[in-house]
């Protein structure tokens, strides 16, 4: 009797706790309180320059508007931690993260729609940046606050030592990479340098991210819009296959990609370039302060990527402010977004030699040459304007990026694989993903 009584009590308590835990969805109809402090998460290294810059922006915002903001910097597994908070139905009020997250966040109901009418500086945003935050239905689910594109970083001292010119074509790029690999450009008498450093780990889909710089310029694409918001996979088209094959040959035939690239996420790849183990790196401007410090500003140069078979398109990326669902202070969320994209907010975000969170401004009224005298920033701004290519806006880009990263990384890791066959298999996977998201053309 006693045992059964305890079992009964235990079950009742568990049921009560469980039912308490799984009460209805939090939704967006939360009682509003404009005095509630805003919890802000930003994807940057805790204690690093990005966190300082975000805090500086938050302080200026508090001063200007009276709202309160608590900044939390998280870098590793940011999306995972956000998913955990979502599962607890206790999201931060504001999230500052990559623009490619917009589809995922919207489809999961984790962000609320941005109402341009409530953001008075929205009309000052560049069309390119604004469009990148729109979902296929044309609605805005994020507010851009920073933009960037990729450029080619070259070890200038190595290039000059070997008497080579800045590459103007993919063939010249490959030639320079070979020279950096075999010509002992650091003069240490050892065969320990690579031509190109590449982030080809599958973590967070990095390989896909990196390879997009070559895919689009080669005329290929991950998925292609067929009209009416429908897409078909495009990784096995002749253009995509040629781009993959060309890139793959750098690793498999020429051996000019840094050893271990297929398991390297971005931190390890950055270290390879700054440690003088590789001579070229296709990357955004956010690493300039770091490489200036570790490598020396005079040691490397920033040039546009040479054009591929089609054009010189490179990956354009952006950072967005997401107004998360369930916030008790939506007025504060709107006010923060508005402040961050204003002329003042953008300039504060760009201040400093290293502690800045705005790479390229998204406000039409901010001229980068007026804020940063370093001409390398103008190079990046021009590349972004002319050749910046954003990932398409679909309900959830993450699975597309992950599947393509798996295949690209695999093709470089295993040189025995058949390129065309693997890309056809990838297209089959992409078809399933598109069907799952309800945007497949077939």
Partner 1 sequence: MTVDHAKPAAVGADRPAVKRAPAPKARRRSDRDGKWWTPWFFLAPALILFVYFKFIPMITAVTMSFQDVQPYLGNQWVGGENYSTVLGDEAFHSAIWHTVVIAVGQTVGSMVIGLALALLMEGQSKRLKFLRSAAFLPVVVPIAVVAELWRIMYHPTEDGMLNSILGMVGLGPSGFINDPDTSMISVIITGIWRGAPYDMMIFLAGLAGIDRGLYEAATVDGASRWRKILHVTLPGLRSVFSILFVLAAIRGLRVFTEVFLLTNGGPNGSTEVAMTLIYKLGLEQNRLGVGAAGAVLLFLATLVLTLFVQVLRRRRDA
Is there binding between residue 439 and partner 1 (CB under 8 A)?
no
Is there binding between residue 109 and partner 1 (CB under 8 A)?
yes
Contacting range for partner 1; rule: CB under 8 A; set: 179-187, 298-306, 379-387, 407-415: 407-415
Q: What is the x/- site pattern for partner 1, positions 84-103, by CB under 8 A?
A: x-xx-x-x------------
Report residue 133 CA to chain centroid gap.
13
404 by Cβ neighbours in 10 Å (0-12 / 13-18 / 19+) ranks as buried
- Nearest residue to 398 via CA among 244, 208, 250: 208
Is there binding between residue 428 and partner 1 (CB under 8 A)?
no
d(CA 293, CA 411): 34
Q: What one-character DSSP code corresponds to residue 72? A: E
Which residue's CB is nearer to partner 1, number 69 or number 91?
Answer: 91
Site for partner 1 in 326-355 (CB under 8 A): 326
Which residue's CB is nearer to partner 1, number 307 or number 417?
Answer: 417
Q: How many CA atoms lie within 13 A of 220 on its CB side?
A: 27
Q: What one-character DSSP code corresponds to residue 292? A: I
Q: How many CA atoms lie within 13 A of 208 on its CB side?
A: 23
Is there binding between residue 414 and partner 1 (CB under 8 A)?
yes
- Nearest residue to 251 via CA among 264, 239, 236: 264
Which residue's CB is nearer to partner 1, number 86 or number 125?
Answer: 86
Which residue's CB is nearer to partner 1, number 331 or number 432?
Answer: 432
Number of residues that bind partner 1 (CB under 8 A): 50
Is there binding between residue 30 and partner 1 (CB under 8 A)?
no
Which residue's CB is nearer to partner 1, number 2 or number 63?
Answer: 2
Contacting range for partner 1; rule: CB under 8 A; set: 163-171, 365-373, 386-394, 403-411: 403-411
Shortest gap between Cβ of 111 and partner 1 (angstroms)?
A: 9
State the maximum Cα–Cα separation within the chain, in Å, rounded to a whole number.
91
Is there binding between residue 24 and partner 1 (CB under 8 A)?
yes
Site for partner 1 in 271-310 (CB under 8 A): none
Site for partner 1 in 241-270 (CB under 8 A): 259-263, 265
Binding site for partner 1 (CB under 8 A): 2, 6, 13-14, 17-18, 21-22, 24-28, 77, 79-80, 83-84, 86-87, 89, 91, 104, 108-110, 190, 192, 201-204, 259-263, 265, 325-326, 396, 398-399, 402, 406, 409-410, 413-414, 417
């Amino acid at each position: 009797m006693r045992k059964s009584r305890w079992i009964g009590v235990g079950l009742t308590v568990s049921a009560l706790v469980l039912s308490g835990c799984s009460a209805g969805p939090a939704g967006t109809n939360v009682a509003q309180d404009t005095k509630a402090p805003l919890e802000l998460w930003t994807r940057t290294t805790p204690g690093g320059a990005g966190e300082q810059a975000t805090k500086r922006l938050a302080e200026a915002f508090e001063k200007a508007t009276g709202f309160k903001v608590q900044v939390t910097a998280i870098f590793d597994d940011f999306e995972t931690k956000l998913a955990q908070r979502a599962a607890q139905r206790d999201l931060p009020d504001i999230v500052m993260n990559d623009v490619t997250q917009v589809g995922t966040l919207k489809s999961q109901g984790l962000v609320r729609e941005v109402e341009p009418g409530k953001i008075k500086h929205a009309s000052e945003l560049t069309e390119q940046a604004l469009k990148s935050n729109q979902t296929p239905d044309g609605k805005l689910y994020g507010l851009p606050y920073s933009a960037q594109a990729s450029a080619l970083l070259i070890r200038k001292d190595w290039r000059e030592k070997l008497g080579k010119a800045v590459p103007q074509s993919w063939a010249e790029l490959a030639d320079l990479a070979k020279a950096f690999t075999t010509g002992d450009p650091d003069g240490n008498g050892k065969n320990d340098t690579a031509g190109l450093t590449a982030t080809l780990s599958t973590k967070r889909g990095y390989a896909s991210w990196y390879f997009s710089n070559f895919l689009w310029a080669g005329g290929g694409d991950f998925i292609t819009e067929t009209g009416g918001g429908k897409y078909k996979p495009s990784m096995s088209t002749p253009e995509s296959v040629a781009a993959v094959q060309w890139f793959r040959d750098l690793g498999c035939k020429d051996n000019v990609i840094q050893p271990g690239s297929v398991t390297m996420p971005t931190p390890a790849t950055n270290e390879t370039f700054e440690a003088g183990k590789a001579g070229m790196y296709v990357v955004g401007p956010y690493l300039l302060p770091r490489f200036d410090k570790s490598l020396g500003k005079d040691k490397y140069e920033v040039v546009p990527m040479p054009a591929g078979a089609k054009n010189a398109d490179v990956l354009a990326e952006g950072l967005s402010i997401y107004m998360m669902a369930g916030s008790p202070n939506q007025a504060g969320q709107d006010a923060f977004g508005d402040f961050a994209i204003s002329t003042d907010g953008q300039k504060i975000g760009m201040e400093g030699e290293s502690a800045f969170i705005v790479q390229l401004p998204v406000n039409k009224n901010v001229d980068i040459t007026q804020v940063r005298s370093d001409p390398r920033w103008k190079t990046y701004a021009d590349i972004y304007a002319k050749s910046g290519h954003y990932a398409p806006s679909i309900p959830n880009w993450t699975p597309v990026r992950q599947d393509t990263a798996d295949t690209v990384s695999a093709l470089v890791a295993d040189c025995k694989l058949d390129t065309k066959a693997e890309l056809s298999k990838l297209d089959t996977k992409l078809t399933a993903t598109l069907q799952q998201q309800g945007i497949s053309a077939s």
